[in-house]
Amino acid sequence: MTPPTPAAVRGALKPTHESLTPEENRELYYDERDATDLLRDHIRAVAAEMRTEAIAMRVNAVDPFATGAERNAEIAEAQTLEKFADRLEGRASNEPHT
């Protein structure tokens, strides 16, 4: 899966082709996916990026120089990112990520 360009996503979200900017029109033209597939891939890419950031936050939480409050904040932020990534993909928080 290749994430779509921001212009293609903006174009796919617009209600009519008449309101597309030249950049959005070009990006939609060259992207062979229909709007549904394009937006599906965009959501998956954003959710994957959020999960990657959550992993980095959890790694930072084990920093030996971090205070307990800093660790707890990192863990809470990571959990929030994971929760919203799940919601973007329409998953329950306890479903496995495939």
20 located within any domain: yes
The more confidently predicted of residues 64 and 9 is: 9
pLDDT in tens, 62-86: 877 778 888 888 889 999 999 999 9
Q: Name the token pair of 40.
A: 């599906």
Residue 34 pLDDT grade (very low, low, confident, very high; cuts 50, 70, 90) = very high
- The more confidently predicted of residues 97 and 41 is 41
Domain ranges, residue 19? 6-88
Q: Is residue 96 part of a domain?
A: no
Q: What is the CA radius of gyration of the chain?
A: 18
Whether residue 54 is contained in a domain is answered as yes
| pLDDT at residue 83, as a whole number | 94
> Using CA atoms, how far apart are residues 57 and 60, in angstroms rounded to an integer?
5
Q: pLDDT at residue 95 above 70?
A: no
The whole-angstrom separation of Cα 58 and Cα 70 is 11
Q: Is residue 80 part of a domain?
A: yes
> Does a structural domain hold residue 98?
no
CA distance 95 to 15: 33
Q: Are the C-beta atoms of residues 89 and 44 closer than 8 Å to each other?
A: yes
Residue 29 in domain: yes
**Residue 95 placed within a domain:** no
pTM for this entry: 0.79
Asked if residue 59 belongs to a domain, the reply is yes
Token pair 């409050």 is found at: 69
Question: Could you give the CA distance from residue 60 to residue 14 in angstroms, rounded to a whole number?
Answer: 39
Q: How many domains does the chain have?
A: 1
Rounded distance between C-alpha atoms, residue 12 and residue 79, angstroms:
30
